[in-house]
Amino acid sequence: MKAGFRGAGLIPFDPQAVLSKLDIRIRTPTPPSILLESANSWVSQTPHNPTEALLQSILVKSRIARHQSSSPTPIFETVVALAKGTERLAHENTLLSVEIRMFRKANEALSKRRHVKKTQLRQGGVLTGQEAIDIISQQKVDIQIRRDEHQNRGNSNGESSTNRCCSKYGKTGHNSRTCSNNIIDPRLLDS
């Protein structure tokens, strides 16, 4: 056992002997490339997000670089899949942009209407008849929108939502007590 320690330079303690027996190769370590690893495992398919589109383009570049005298069919198939995915993403982007623009306009218009009403009333301004009618009609529109949204969503309890209606005439918007068609026959009052 002592011979083993002596051969390794540990007994007697001789650091130079230990260092001289080490096989040291100096090199700079390279970090593993996650993108290249995933690109090597990537198969040609239509990309559905930007990361997949990037991997698809790396795959196309690597296939073009490896292409020597073999058939170019796999490259063409990969390019077609890449173009299809890019076209799909472009269409989605266009639709989302239009939808965002529409929501921003609606939000801005609603914000302006609410701001004008509150500012005018806070400042103690006098409402003209037409402005009052506009405010009331806007409130009715808002109520109708909320009612429509509620009907479209459905009832959370599972119950079907029905509009209340007049039991005498069957018209919605009022009941029999508040019915404007409650006209009393004058002949009944005389008797």
Predicted confidence band of residue 99 (pLDDT cuts 50, 70, 90): very high
pLDDT at 84 > cutoff 70: yes
CA atoms of 162 and 171, how far apart (whole Å): 13
CA atoms of 178 and 175, how far apart (whole Å): 6
pTM for this predicted structure: 0.33
Which range scores top for mean pLDDT: 37-51, 134-148, 158-172?
Answer: 134-148
Greater model confidence, 120 or 164: 164
**pLDDT, the chain, mean:** 74
